Structure 1
Amino acid sequence: MSIPAVQLMNSLRSGHATSPRLTWYGPDSERVELSGRVLDNWVAKTSNLLQDELDAEPGMRLSISLPAHWKSLIWALAAWQVGMETILDGGDAELLVTDNPGTVAGKHDAVIAVALPALAMRWPGELPAGIIDFASEVRMHGDVFLAHSDPSPTGCAVQGHNGQRHLHQDLITGFATPHGDGVRLLVPAADGLETALANSLGAWTNGGSVVLVHPEVELTDKLLAAERVQGE
């Protein structure tokens, strides 16, 4: 039995291949739009990086120390596709992904630095020794993900900020926020990564799409009309 994250990626890849599924508005007039196929491609490459380069496997933990951002959603989807547990509260984890590698505390098997600007081809400047540069490494990995091991539906998928844990089999029914069919959902990044993930899952599961907006971006009438979004 495949887990919901795998089913979701199959749906995005096949049923919504060319239509927008994730749109990001960031600082400095940054706008990124990912179709179902492109979103799946990013997730597949990141899943392959986790599995093939970092020896990730079902049951391992990934701490996501990132703001709500389109790359944060990629990392969560990739970890779930591998069958990992995503740690959102800063708890212990074998692997850590962060946009601030200079302040890493604790011990991890690997630390991955994520440059948030959309066009970043590598981390700007020098990275501490041993830190992996996501922007430069992810492009070397394959566009199709084939799991070495089947994820367990009863494994933990999310540990949230309140300590609540959700199993892989309950990602949609227990963690995701329900939304109507085909919704074009406005998701303010200011609400935090956990909320963004829950809302995005709820939208995608019912054939919808997400517009994720950085706190510094003004929600003008023009933007809202252009994207034809609905609020949370």
Structure 2
Amino acid sequence: MSIPAIELMSALRSGHSTSPRLTWYGPDSERVELSGRVLDNWVAKTSNLLQDELDAEPGMRLRLDLPAHWKSVVLALAAWQLGMEVVLDAGEAELLATGAPGSLPESSAFDAVIAVPLPALAMRWPGELPAGVVDYAAEVRSHGDVFMAHGDPEGAARAIISATGAAHPHSGLLSGFAATHDAGVRLLVQAGDGLEAALVQSLGAWNSDGSVVLVHPDVEVTDKLRNDERVQGK
């Protein structure tokens, strides 16, 4: 069954596939630009990691213990492409993706924990990881660029519960959870507003055939940045 997340990834890799779709500004002068095709590749690799290495399947839950960041956006898209539910609070989940794997005493409550290093050029987790924790940066690149689901996702299954308590099914992810934007928008998204806000705004921009510039809270949004990226938004 095709669900909106799958259709969105298909659109990103086929329509204007070489154009920027997600640009990240981070600390230490980081700038990462992902075209539609490259974003789709990252999402496909991550979906394959979840499915093939961690036995993820439709209906399972992935908790994202991460800030708004291009990697956390990729993880959310990968989970939705699989038909999983994304959990953003302290709710129960089978899988956990975190930037602080050493400070989670409840990690045994998860079937698997994924350590996600956030520096742009990180090829692996810096230092030792607790036993059994998967190093996202080290593992994801070895997975395939094309995702083929082992099971059919259900459109009526839950994709996310928003901070307001509203439950959004996969079938309504783009029509009920995503923001509405003008066609072709180049949208500035402030990472400091949180991961849910970043997902709401980014999904809406991509659904309108637009693109996103996601900016870390430590990065000043100058007139030069706005002009260089030709962005709209606060």
TM-score (norm 1): 0.98
For 2:181, the equivalent position in structure 1 comes to 179
Letter in structure 1 aligned against 2:81: Q
Q: Deviations over 1:74-103 (max 9, x none)?
A: 000000000000001120000000001011
Query: Aligned partners of 1:111 and 1:84: how far apart in 2?
Result: 16
Which residue is equivalent to 2:20?
20
- Do 1:87 and 1:160's aligned partners in 2 also have CA atoms closer than 8 Å? no
Please identify runs of 4+ aligned residues in structure 1 that moved more than 6 A.
Answer: none
Question: In the aligned structure 2, how far is the partner of 1:149 from the partner of 1:22?
Answer: 28
Secondary structure at the residue paired with 2:10? helix
- 2:2 is equivalent to residue 2 of structure 1: yes
**Residue 16 of structure 1 aligns to which amino acid in structure 2?**
H
Letter in 2 for 1:29: S
Q: Identity across aligned pairs (percent)?
A: 71
CA distance in 2 between counterparts of 1:157 and 1:50 reads: 16
* Equivalent position of 2:119 in the other structure: 117
CA distance in 2, matches of 1:86, 1:153: 14
Asked whether the 8 Å contact 1:46–1:75 carries over to 2, the reply is yes
2:132 maps to what in 1?
130
Query: Offset of 1:115 from its aligned partner?
Result: 0.3
Unaligned runs of 5+ in 2: none
Which whole-Å CA distance do the structure 2 matches of 1:167 and 1:227 have between them?
33
Structure 1 segment 44-123 matched on structure 2, within 5 A: 44-106=44-106, 107-123=109-125
Task: Give the drift of 1:165.
Answer: 1.5
Summarize deviations over 1:146-199 as a string: whole Å, max 9, x none.
Answer: 001111000000123333221000001110010010000000000000000000
Secondary structure class of the residue paired with 1:63: strand
Deviation of residue 118 (structure 1)? 1.0
Q: Give the letter for the 2:169 counterpart.
A: L
The one-letter code matched in structure 2 to 1:118 is A
What's the offset of the Cα at 1:35?
0.1
CA deviation vs aligned residue, 1:15-47 (integer Å, no higher than 9, x gap): 021000000000000000000000000000000
Aligned to 1:142: 144
One-letter identity of the residue aligned with 2:232: Q
Asked if residue 151 in structure 1 is aligned to residue 156 in structure 2, the reply is: no
RMSD between aligned residues: 0.8
Q: Distance in 1 between matches of 2:166 and 2:113?
A: 24
CA distance in 2, matches of 1:168, 1:119: 32
For residues 59 and 34 of structure 2, the distance between their equivalents in structure 1, rounded to whole angstroms, comes to 29
